[in-house]
Structure 1
Amino acid sequence: MVHCRDIAVAVRTFVGHHAKTAVLFTHSDIKTILFPVTTFACAVAPLHAARRLLFGMVWVWSHQLMCNVSNQANSRNEDMVNKPWRPLPSGRISERQARALRWIVVGVCLLLSGTLGRGVVLMTLGLFVTTFLYDEVGLSGHHVSKNLCAIGGYTTIEMGATKLIGEAPELDAVAMAAVYLSGAIIFTTIHAQDFADVEGDVALGRVTLPIYAPDLARTFTVVILIAWSLGLSAFWNIGPICRALFVVLGGTVGARYYLLRDPKADRRSYVLYNVWLTVAHLLPLNARAEILSF
């Protein structure tokens, strides 16, 4: 006879296994997507209630999962080199199962957005189209088209999160300026994630900026991070102390990429890049509350 305790243990094991698989799919991009996008939405909306923050984070994470499953279902060979702990190379899930899961997650995201309003559904559809072009059409294979897809992905998920976290269903001028600037930042700096993944990208036949022009890519990273730090500080009119700290942060991250060139150092530099990106996404708050004017 099967006891209730045995059933409970089996259910916990089943749920725990699949929950861990979902977390492993999204683990690498929590610092790249979940934290910066949530910070962006809280700053731009701005945040009005803890309940909205929870809704926003769940929505962002579920859409991040949609992108991650789609991307990783098509990049097992790369992940075997760069991230062997991910669900496919580690054997937690097969490619066939991952492709099926990809469409299940799309459906779940559409259902979730459907309960939150038409504008949010449009953001989900926009993210799905961008992800499809990136993974299925093959736009991830070249650094220019890859960065263009990154713009589409980031801006749609940022607008969706901002709609959920804020009170207004439509984005005002401050929010739209923040979205446009975010897209430009992503287009010109997202190659920072590719330095540590050169070996895997080569194995997959991708042409990223660090592969196409390795020395130029590192020099450009220093220049563009300092330039954005200065430009964003001026645009959002933050104060001299905050401006100095932000520029120093950008310069430090850029200098690390230029001076420290092994994969381990590049992975650490990428963590710091995401700190810089999160701070950059926080700056629009100064247009709402002027709390960064010192």
Structure 2
Amino acid sequence: MPSTRRVVQCVRFVRRQSANIAAFAYTIFLFMKSDVGTVILPTTSLGISLIGVPEAHAFLEGLIWVTLHLLAFDVRTSYTCLTPNTKIIGLEEDRLSKPHRPIAAGRISVQTSRRLHILFTVASLLDSMRHGLLVHSASYFVLITMYNEGNLSSFWMTKSGIIAVSIGILGSGVVACFDHDRPLSLTSIHAIIMTVLIQATTIHAQDFRDMAGDAAIGRKTLPMLLPRALARWSIGILLLSWSIILVAFWDLPAGAALVMYGLAGYTACSFRAGGTICGLLLAWLCHFSIDFGQ
């Protein structure tokens, strides 16, 4: 019957559209997949460490804010091109180090990615206006422009510094969203500064997995400049050193200090043996110390 046929057509249309929406959402997720554990989880855990478990809507506000900013960065980085006549270095890097990313995997075109970058940038700025975080967003986008178009990502020191400060900006924005847009407390400021310093001095742990891609685009990172063993040992030494500093700074009780040292030692040994779990646990060590130090 005609009515039955229309119902079937409608159901098929809904299924097709649902599948298209799901595929597009997954494509967007693939842009930031590698940074969920190194940006999204650390910044949200920082907010929880400083503010406590936020209300559901405040948590969602913070999660949306940091995700929009991260996507603006990740989408732009995936098609970075230093001049109009050079090859897309972000694509060359992703083909070797992160082949799951949408452009490298052939899921999306460069032109569509450019439109998405504009969309996420505008959405980030509008969302920041709602929360009084426009200065945070402006600073963040200046930094990532320097990182990409300014080619400051090609040298390990400027690369680490920009990423660390950017994560600090994202973390402070999440804390503000979780705390209903109130000004940061002195404890929060101290914690964010500590987070930036820790990230700046240890973020080269992530570069071990990206060595092939970095070499392909001429980027110089510490794992490429230092002997492999020394580069891995440096992570362990820095981890233990930061643990000592955090214990002293937050005046942690003996039990918490032992857990800190134990986690730092375990992470250092695992990384020295070839593991790459350092990023998230590093951030967690810092936030663990905040919980006990407040």
- TM-score, structure 1 as length reference: 0.88
What pairs with 1:204-215 in structure 2 (closer than 5 Å)? 204-214=217-227, 215=229
Q: Deviations over 1:102-148 (max 9, x none)?
A: 111101111222222x2x22212221111111111111000011011
**How far does residue 255 in structure 1 lie from its aligned partner after superposition?**
2.3
**Do the aligned residues in 1 keep the contact of 2:31 with 2:101 (CA within 8 Å)?**
yes
- CA distance in 2 between partners of 1:202 and 1:113 (Å): 36
More off after superposition, 72-81 vs 138-147:
72-81
2:48 aligned with 1:42, yes or no?
yes
**Do the aligned residues in 2 keep the contact of 1:44 with 1:285 (CA within 8 Å)?**
yes
2:106 is aligned to 91
**Do the aligned residues in 2 keep the contact of 1:48 with 1:167 (CA within 8 Å)?**
no
Instruction: Quote the RMSD (CA, aligned, Å).
Output: 1.8
- CA distance in 1 between partners of 2:100 and 2:54 (Å): 38
**How far does residue 206 in structure 1 lie from its aligned partner after superposition?**
0.3
- TM-score, structure 2 as length reference: 0.88
SS for the counterpart of 2:209 is helix
User: Which structure would you say has the larger Rg?
Assistant: 2
For residues 235 and 152 of structure 1, do their structure 2 counterparts lie closer, same or farther at Cα, with a shift above 3 Å needed?
same
Query: Equivalent of 1:103, from 118, 121, 132?
Result: 118
**How far does residue 13 in structure 1 lie from its aligned partner after superposition?**
2.2
2:24 is aligned to 18
- CA distance in 1 between partners of 2:78 and 2:287 (Å): 27
**How far does residue 201 in structure 1 lie from its aligned partner after superposition?**
0.6
2:142 aligned with 1:129, yes or no?
yes
Moved over 3 A (4+): none
**Do the aligned residues in 2 keep the contact of 1:45 with 1:167 (CA within 8 Å)?**
no
Query: Equivalent of 1:283, from 275, 286, 289?
Result: 289
**How far does residue 30 in structure 1 lie from its aligned partner after superposition?**
0.5
Number of aligned residue pairs: give it: 278
For residues 48 and 79 of structure 1, do their structure 2 counterparts lie closer, same or farther at Cα, with a shift above 3 Å needed?
closer
**How far does residue 272 in structure 1 lie from its aligned partner after superposition?**
4.1
What pairs with 1:73-222 in structure 2 (closer than 5 Å)? 73-74=79-80, 75-116=90-131, 118=132, 120-167=133-180, 169-214=182-227, 215-222=229-236
Structure 1: give runs of 5+ residues left out of the alignment. Answer: 289-294
**Identity percentage over the alignment?**
27
2:266 aligned with 1:252, yes or no?
yes
- Give the letter for the 2:31 counterpart: F
**How far does residue 39 in structure 1 lie from its aligned partner after superposition?**
0.6
- CA distance in 2 between partners of 1:86 and 1:107 (Å): 22
- Give the letter for the 2:70 counterpart: Q
For residues 168 and 282 of structure 1, do their structure 2 counterparts lie closer, same or farther at Cα, with a shift above 3 Å needed?
farther
Query: Equivalent of 2:249, from 218, 231, 235?
Result: 235
More off after superposition, 235-244 vs 100-109:
235-244
- CA distance in 2 between partners of 1:165 and 1:47 (Å): 8
**Do the aligned residues in 2 keep the contact of 1:109 with 1:124 (CA within 8 Å)?**
yes
SS for the counterpart of 1:171 is coil
Q: Deviations over 1:213-272 (max 9, x none)?
A: 1343222211101101121122112222221122122122222333x3xxxx4xxx3224
**How far does residue 168 in structure 1 lie from its aligned partner after superposition?**
5.8
- CA distance in 2 between partners of 1:250 and 1:103 (Å): 40
Structure 2: give runs of 5+ residues left out of the alignment. Answer: 81-89
SS for the counterpart of 1:251 is helix
**Do the aligned residues in 1 keep the contact of 2:191 with 2:290 (CA within 8 Å)?**
yes
**How far does residue 40 in structure 1 lie from its aligned partner after superposition?**
0.4
